[in-house]
Chain A
Amino acid sequence: MLQNIVANGLIFGGTYAVLAGGFALVFGVARILNMAHTAFYMVAAYIIYSFISMLGMGSIVVSVLAIIMAVILATVCYILFIDRVKQHDLTVMVITIAIGMLFQEIILLIFKGDYHGVEPFIKGYLDFGKVRITYQHLFIILSSLIALGLIWVLLAKTTMGIAIRAISQDRVAANLMGINVSRVILITVGISAAFAAFAGAVVAPNLTIYPQMWMPPLITILAAVVLGGLGSLKGAIIGAFILGLVESAVVFLVPLGGYLREAVSLVTMLIVLLVRSEGLFGIVFEEEKL
């Protein structure tokens, strides 16, 4: 049983980690609580489904296209709707909820409420003892780790990364040091959307694609981000894996309560916050470091 809990926890956690990473990044840098984050994951899944099923394109090419399109969409949304009100946190949050709902309704208009599916990029499965896992699941875990590694390299080893971190630590000081804050925030929004779209791309074959698919993971990644410490990338990723394991454990240990997976995630978050109000890896709530 333990093997299965861990394996399934890693599968859930891998997806949540990529989503939560992007969410934490844009919050850490731009202080945008982007409730439309998982909507880009949904948009990417639909783009992949449409291009593969209607145009017969290859899955890798389509995934790259989906990520590019999601990045463009996110940056356009930022420029049009968020940039002008970015000083008002609550307004920004409400606007992002509206953007998410807008995407959902547009998708609903175009595709209706039908359920769709995409073929796995890599077919087949492996048995490790009592654990059965598909190659696509392994691909999700591995590609999530690679994506998270790439973002770490970007943040730790590049000039852009230093600028992003500087802004996340002190926006005014970064501005005074000559960093173009608006430009860096825009790039961060794009990176964040790329993360969401990437998650949509690798996970799409393992999901039912439908217009409301962005809602369930949103709750979990919010919990992961708060659990890890708002704004902390490392915290969000670790929080995502913790919640993945918790959700998996619920199914195996409390089978009658499988429907409470998300609720248990939220309770886990609350317990951690009761013990440590800034989350697991929050040094100071407002001034998080990489």
Chain B
Amino acid sequence: MRHGKWSVYCVLISVLLLIIPTQVAAADKIKIGVISPMNFMQGRDAWDGATLAAEEINKSGGITVKGVKYEIDLVKADSNEFASVPDAVSAFERLITFDKVNFVIGGFRSEATLAQQELLAQYKIIYLNTGSAAPDLTARVKQNYDKYKYYFRANSVNSVLATPPVSATLQVVMDKLKTELGIQKPNVGLIMQKARYIDAMVDPVQKIVAALGGKVVGLWRPSATAPTLVAELSAAKEANAHLCFITFDGPAGVITDKEWGAMKFPFVNTGYNSEAQTKQHWEATNGYCEYSTNLGWIARSNITKANAPFWDEYVKRYNRFPSVYSATHSAMNVLKVAIEKAGTMGSDILVGELEKIDYPTSYFRQVFYQKDQKFAHDTIIGAGHATGYVTQWIKGELKVVWPDGKPLQTSEDAQSWQGIRYQGTAEYKLPPWVVEYWKGKK
């Protein structure tokens, strides 16, 4: 009987000994949820960017909080938000309640992110959103700070605040039309996908066109899944457009560039096309995207010291360019710096630390707007901060053509852009068929 009793004690002690180290090990991890549509480019890039960052941070000793080193443990969540916004909310809640993550990064569709924001105050969880562009997302942080303060748009871009680089996509090509073809008042067609964040861009873009001396000759609003854009492109040609500002973030962005190049529509193609920033775009359009110009948030440059090494490692490992969605890489680093400075993972203290952060990430200098500003917790865009790039496809390569060192005419601080030009910036080239079509016609 006595032996039996000791046997029970031994078993209990053994079990405790087995459990205790496991708990200690578990406590040394910081769990970060990465949420995005994982079967798509957006999700894959978000996961790859985060994975690369986690490996780098863990290799360099992890995140140190008050002398204790924590390893990063990533948790993948497929938001399925192309098909269903409720799925995106459920996946987010599952990350918090089931996977018990400490932080969440990623996100894509603004409609899904708006819904996910409703969970943040309830669970006091910080969300570094790296893929949504609707202005409402940060406007509501100012309007209801206590409820939405855990949300930060890190390394992603508010479509309204993106005015400087949007303006640059027009200025670069309009300057060239003026100097090379003598077209002083270019006709501008706007082909802008129907989407919440793009709705917010329509008026500003029209104002920029007018400020740069152009004339809007048509506005078309196709869907992101339109199988062909030949009707819109034909309509722009019929309206005598010298250039078209084209905005897409779905499959229609691929076919637009392909049809534009294959049918040699006689206008310049510029704007914001998320697909055009990918390495695969050249193959997907069979090279017909050549000479298209595009606004991007990441390119290989010397904008920060971390940019080129990150770009090179990413391309080497994944054989793809990092995209705006791979900005999970910089979001992770921002999080690490904030946690280490705060010395805690407590959400309320960390919010304050993130509001103070000024850190050169692999994308750009990350500084957030303050809580009393219109777009609180949004990334500051401007000279010396996140500048964005204008890129152009030339012979299979994505060349940076802006910032080009010239003042940005439509910007309130136009002169602050003077001299901002990254290493390797090329000169913008007009498509030869556009030159041929308009030479002498004006």
What is A's interface to B at a CB cutoff of 8 Å? 1, 4, 7-8, 11-12, 53, 108, 112-120, 123, 125, 130-132, 134, 137, 206-208, 210, 212-213, 215-217, 247-248, 251-252, 255-259, 261-262
5 shortest interchain CB distances as A-B pairs:
A113-B40, A259-B194, A259-B223, A251-B231, A208-B251
Q: Within the complex, what minimum Cβ distance (angstroms) separates A242 from chain B?
A: 16
Q: Are B231 and A8 in contact (CB under 8 A)?
A: yes
Q: Are B228 and A258 in contact (CB under 8 A)?
A: no
Q: Of the candidates B218, B262, B284, which one forms a contact with A116 in the assembled complex, judged by CB atoms under 8 Å apart?
A: B284
Q: Are A125 and B264 in contact (CB under 8 A)?
A: yes
Q: Are A207 and B227 in contact (CB under 8 A)?
A: yes
Q: How far, in angstroms, from A256 to B280 measured CA to CA in the complex?
A: 30
Q: Which residues of B contact A208 (CB under 8 A)?
A: 227, 251-252, 254-255, 258, 284
Q: Which residues of B contact A125 (CB under 8 A)?
A: 262-264
Q: A113-B40, A117-B283 are in contact. Are A130 and B238 (CB under 8 A)?
A: yes
Q: Within the complex, what minimum Cβ distance (angstroms) separates B382 from chain A?
A: 32
Q: How far, in angstroms, from A194 to B280 measured CA to CA in the complex?
A: 30
Q: Which residues of A contact B275 (CB under 8 A)?
A: 115
Q: Are A258 and B254 in contact (CB under 8 A)?
A: no
Q: Which residues of B contact A11 (CB under 8 A)?
A: 228, 230
Q: How far, in angstroms, from A130 to B234 measured CA to CA in the complex?
A: 9
Judged by a CB distance under 8 angstroms, whether B336 is at the interface is no
Judged by a CB distance under 8 angstroms, whether B22 is at the interface is no
Best-surrounded residue of A53, A114, A206 (most CB of chain B within 10 A): A114
Q: Within the complex, what minimum Cβ distance (angstroms) separates B48 from chain A?
A: 12
Judged by a CB distance under 8 angstroms, whether B204 is at the interface is no
Q: Are A4 and B262 in contact (CB under 8 A)?
A: no
Q: Of the candidates B237, B262, B284, which one forms a contact with A134 in the assembled complex, judged by CB atoms under 8 Å apart?
A: B262
Q: Within the complex, what minimum Cβ distance (angstroms) separates B249 from chain A?
A: 12
CB closest residue in chain B, given A203: B227
Q: Within the complex, what minimum Cβ distance (angstroms) separates B41 from chain A?
A: 6
Q: How far, in angstroms, from A12 to B228 measured CA to CA in the complex?
A: 9
16 residue pairs of the A-B complex, CB under 8 angstroms, read A8-B231, A115-B280, A117-B254, A123-B262, A132-B263, A134-B263, A137-B230, A208-B284, A213-B227, A255-B221, A255-B235, A256-B220, A256-B221, A257-B221, A258-B220, A258-B222
Q: Which residues of A contact B194 (CB under 8 A)?
A: 258-259
A-B CB contacts (within 8 Å), total count: 121
Q: Are B39 and A115 in contact (CB under 8 A)?
A: no
Q: Within the complex, what minimum Cβ distance (angstroms) separates B63 from chain A?
A: 31
- New A-B pairs, 4, CB < 8 Å, besides A130-B237, A132-B234, A257-B221: A12-B228, A113-B40, A117-B258, A118-B286
Q: Which residues of A contact B251 (CB under 8 A)?
A: 115, 208, 210, 212-213
Q: Of the candidates A4, A117, A119, A210, which one forms a contact with B231 in the assembled complex, judged by CB atoms under 8 Å apart?
A: A4
Q: How far, in angstroms, from A114 to B39 measured CA to CA in the complex?
A: 9
Q: Of the candidates A117, A130, A210, A259, which one forms a contact with B221 in the assembled complex, judged by CB atoms under 8 Å apart?
A: A259
Q: How far, in angstroms, from A262 to B219 measured CA to CA in the complex?
A: 19
Q: Are A4 and B238 in contact (CB under 8 A)?
A: yes
Q: Are A258 and B230 in contact (CB under 8 A)?
A: no
Q: Are A252 and B231 in contact (CB under 8 A)?
A: yes
Q: How far, in angstroms, from A210 to B225 measured CA to CA in the complex?
A: 10
Judged by a CB distance under 8 angstroms, whether B44 is at the interface is yes
Q: Are A259 and B222 in contact (CB under 8 A)?
A: yes
Q: Are B238 and A117 in contact (CB under 8 A)?
A: no
Q: Are B39 and A252 in contact (CB under 8 A)?
A: no
Q: How far, in angstroms, from A60 to B39 measured CA to CA in the complex?
A: 31
Q: Which residues of A contact B254 (CB under 8 A)?
A: 115, 117, 208
Q: Are A8 and B234 in contact (CB under 8 A)?
A: yes
Q: A118-B286, A132-B265, A207-B255 are in contact. Are A251 and B225 (CB under 8 A)?
A: no
Q: How far, in angstroms, from A259 to B44 measured CA to CA in the complex?
A: 28
Q: Are B263 and A114 in contact (CB under 8 A)?
A: no
Q: Are B234 and A4 in contact (CB under 8 A)?
A: yes
Scoring B residues 257 to 269 as 1 if CB is less than 8 Å from chain A, else 0, what string do you get?
0110011110000
Q: Within the complex, what minimum Cβ distance (angstroms) separates A132 from chain B?
A: 6
Q: How far, in angstroms, from A114 to B282 measured CA to CA in the complex?
A: 13
Judged by a CB distance under 8 angstroms, whether B296 is at the interface is no
Q: How far, in angstroms, from A17 to B285 measured CA to CA in the complex?
A: 26
Q: Are A212 and B225 in contact (CB under 8 A)?
A: yes
CB closest residue in chain B, given A251: B231
Judged by a CB distance under 8 angstroms, whether B73 is at the interface is no
Q: How far, in angstroms, from A11 to B264 measured CA to CA in the complex?
A: 18
Scoring B residues 202 to 241 as 1 if CB is less than 8 Å from chain A, else 0, what string do you get?
0000000000000000111111011110111011011000
Q: Within the complex, what minimum Cβ distance (angstroms) separates A258 from chain B?
A: 4
B247-306 at interface with A (beta carbon < 8 Å): 251-252, 254-255, 258-259, 262-265, 275, 280, 283-286
Judged by a CB distance under 8 angstroms, whether B107 is at the interface is no
B41-56 at interface with A (beta carbon < 8 Å): 41, 43-44
Q: How far, in angstroms, from A213 to B255 measured CA to CA in the complex?
A: 12
Q: Are A108 and B39 in contact (CB under 8 A)?
A: yes
Q: Are B225 and A216 in contact (CB under 8 A)?
A: yes
CB closest residue in chain B, given A255: B220
Judged by a CB distance under 8 angstroms, whether B37 is at the interface is yes
Q: Are B238 and A1 in contact (CB under 8 A)?
A: yes
Q: A112-B44, A255-B235, A258-B222 are in contact. Are A216 and B227 (CB under 8 A)?
A: yes
Q: Of the candidates A132, A251, A261, which one forms a contact with B237 in the assembled complex, judged by CB atoms under 8 Å apart?
A: A132
Q: How far, in angstroms, from A208 to B286 measured CA to CA in the complex?
A: 11
Best-surrounded residue of B230, B232, B255 (most CB of chain A within 10 A): B230
Q: Within the complex, what minimum Cβ distance (angstroms) separates A211 from chain B?
A: 8
Q: How far, in angstroms, from A4 to B252 measured CA to CA in the complex?
A: 20
Q: How far, in angstroms, from A187 to B144 measured CA to CA in the complex?
A: 64
Q: Are B286 and A252 in contact (CB under 8 A)?
A: no
Q: How far, in angstroms, from A284 to B78 measured CA to CA in the complex?
A: 48
Q: Which residues of A contact B283 (CB under 8 A)?
A: 53, 116-117
Q: A108-B39, A123-B262, A255-B220 are in contact. Are A4 and B235 (CB under 8 A)?
A: yes
